[in-house]
Structure 1
Amino acid sequence: MSEKIPRREFTKITAVAAAAVTTAVLTFKPFYILHAKPKADEEIIGHGSHRYKVHQTWGNLDSSKFPINNCHEMVQDSKGRLIMVGDEVKNNILIYDRSGKLTESWGHEFPGGHGLTLWNANGEEFLFICDPNIGKVFKTDLKGKILLTIEHPSKVGAYKEADAFKPTETAIGPDGTIYIADGYGSQWILRYTPKGEFIDKFGGPGDGDEQFSTAHGIAIDTRNKANPTLLITSRVHNAFKRFTLDGKYISTIFLPGAFVCRPVFDDDTLYAGVCWSRLRYLNQTPNSGFVTILDKNNKVISNPGGTKPEYRNGELQIMVQDKPIFMHCHDVCIDEDKNIYVCQWNAKKTYPVKLERVS
């Protein structure tokens, strides 16, 4: 199944983005992105101290044996294996080594396999898989054995039966609390105990600071060791929103032009795939993905495949795709050498792409 595109993502235009792009749009080419094809390997992309060589064929496999529809997300386990989830039930999970060799595959139960979170519980590792198509979240071991299933929140009184529940992502708190982002459903963030018992919910749909429009991703930000927080995607708002671990709104990181997916942390750096950028008529533009990278102060420092980040009077200007390297970047995974592995949605069944760090 393909990535769900909420109707609001085709119609909602934020006033801030409109103001930022008034002059910038005229300098871009609004039609080539719609029709361009990805270029060949070896191109260098990115900016400043974060530049990368593109290896588009890194993850290619025999599609007759290991087919894919969409490469949704990827994580790395403690052994350095790169674990990818997709929505092809012949092999929902593909596990690579860093050379791009397939080492294992499994999974036939997740027709909308979408969110993938790795949880290291005192040396024992587990996966959390979100499937918005069937409206369930699964906890598994690294071999695919299902250990816990979280179903529609109406079963615990958190939703009405008619409310949509289409979970897109999970995050696991320091105490094992399970956070579920209902990004394609009702826009709530739901909290559960490690045993899957419902605690509460926060957020919901809307344009308030504490609300979401496509709460697509969620992660625990531990860069401040003494004060971990939640960073949650609000994709239509082109933003990440920060909350306390018990769901109190703190602040927003506005990323004008970038329809970001989940936040991914590596040391003090924040990475994210950008599924679309704004260009034509300020709306999301097809095939306009790139990767965005933020420093420890949450300032954008590089946009591999996108325009160079620019700040004017401290305000980030609109960011769009610059080179047709990617189509819809859905997730990134960072290895020990700071290389980036990019998963794409709706990209003509493209396997993961490697970006080799060169500076």
Structure 2
Amino acid sequence: MERKQFIQQAATLGAGALLLRPFSVLAKKAANSDIIGHGHFKYRVNKEWGNLNPSDYPVNDCHEMVMDSQKRLFMLTNEPKNNMLIYDKSGKLLDSWTLKLTGAHGLTLHNENGTEYLYITDYDLGEVYKTTLEGKILLTIRHPKYVGAYSDCDKFKPTETCIGPNGDIYIADGYGSQYVLQYTAKGEFIRKFGGESMVKEDKFKQVHGIALDTRDKANPTLICTERMKNCFKRFTLDGQYLSSIYLPGAYMSRPVFDGEMLYTGVCWSALVHHYLTPNSGFVAILDGNNRVVSNPGGTYPRYVHNELQEMVQAAPIFKHCHDVCVDDDKNLYIPQWNAGKVYPYKLERV
């Protein structure tokens, strides 16, 4: 489907319409083999990795994961009993802590002059927190109305952050008013860009994720997820729109970079006319030219006349992939949203 046609049809449906098609129509039965993916990016699925006693360490939605310099894996959940679970790569629990958040959603790791910090978004409270790796809050960014950037009636439900080359904090208001807000490292407001639109290229319909793209060292850019239009959008660091990367059929979560590769969890899979498949999802992997080279759990990425064809879930392995964490051995860890409170799956590179 052409991107223009998709946008026109989506606009006809309306901003909030999410039509569901029965799962059996869209997905095949799981393959006998537990190896998924394509080309040089194939993986063995390990669903038992990280499983814990839910009475002691419950999870609700497993939203995002990052790996620190000590190769510890930090997993964020919106279960207030233990917002953060910290694993080693074998799946052993090392530690846990909580901020008692019910809307914990976005998790960013940033190395600041040799010290690592976490940035956590909470869409329920409408706040962003900078913390130590032990969970001590060092900075809180509140509703933008307090700095005159939003009106009192504007919603602020932040979903993601990224940190610029100079330490500026970028916040994606993905469940709120669809802006990206830029702050200094001290939390001083600089600007906002975007806003809500289903058709304008420099605006968003669910700016769910954001990341800093440093693959071109001389020209770092922002990559923003526009989930409802199945694309990533590229912006300059001061908020000027550059281009879009269209992934037809994929309702993506945030972009995650590892070297030249770009990974994303696909939270929903869809066929033509953007009917969303219940309990669907897969992982998409793009190369340095932003071409999809593998879809673990999804259909083979096919290009016709240089146009990527629609991608859907191929086997019911995942339910709503919400993030991808890449370790130093190129294994993947997949947290899932609304998936029956399962712990993250590990995809072991083969």
Which piece of structure 1 moves more, 108-117 or 188-197?
Answer: 108-117
Give the match for residue 296 of structure 2: 304
Question: In the alignment, what sits opposite 2:6?
Answer: 16
Cα separation, 2, equivalents of 1:14 and 1:286: 25
Cα distance between partner residues in 1 of 2:30 and 2:110: 34
CA deviation map 1:144-195 (0-9, x unaligned): 0000000000000000011000000000001000000000000000000000
**Residue 133 (1) aligns with residue 114 (2):** no
Of 301, 305, 312, which aligns to 1:313? 305
Residues 38 and 154 (structure 1), Cα distance of their counterparts in 2 relative to 1, 3 Å cut: farther
Q: Structure 1 residues 268, 51: closer, same or farther in 2, change over 3 A?
A: same
What CA distance in whole angstroms lies between the structure 1 residues aligned with 2:226 and 2:145?
Answer: 24
- In 1, are the aligned partners of 2:88 and 2:94 still within 8 Å (CA)? yes
Alignment of 1:1-359 (within 5 A): 15-16=5-6, 31-32=23-24, 43-206=34-197, 207-279=199-271, 281-358=273-350
Amino acid at match of 1:243: F
Percent identity of paired positions between Structure 1 and Structure 2: 61
**1: distance between equivalents of 2:24 and 2:336?**
19
Please list every run of 5 or more consecutive structure 1 residues that lacks an aligned counterpart in the other structure.
1-12, 20-28
Q: Distance in 2 between matches of 1:297 and 1:48?
A: 16
Q: Give how far 1:242 is off.
A: 0.1
State the distance in 2 between where 1:311 and 1:264 align: 23
For 1:118 and 1:288, how far apart are their aligned partners in 2?
28
Q: Is the partner of 1:344 in helix, strand or coil?
A: coil
3-state DSSP class of the match of 2:239? coil
Tell me which residue corresponds to 2:16.
none
Q: Which amino acid aligns with 1:16?
A: F
Letter in 2 for 1:341: Y
Deviation at 1:17, TM superposition (A): 7.5
Shift of 1:59: 1.2
> Which secondary structure state, in structure 1, belongs to the residue aligned with residue 66 of structure 2?
strand
1:25 is aligned to none
Alignment partners' CA distance in 1, 2:295 and 2:25: 16
Code of the residue aligned with 2:275 in structure 1: it is: N
1:110 Cα deviation from its structure 2 partner: 1.4
The two structures have a TM-score, normalised by structure 1, of: 0.90
Distance in 1, matches of 2:278 and 2:168, equals 36
- Paired residues of 1:30 and 1:279 also in contact (CA < 8 A): no
Question: Structure 2: where are the runs of 5+ without partners?
Answer: 10-20
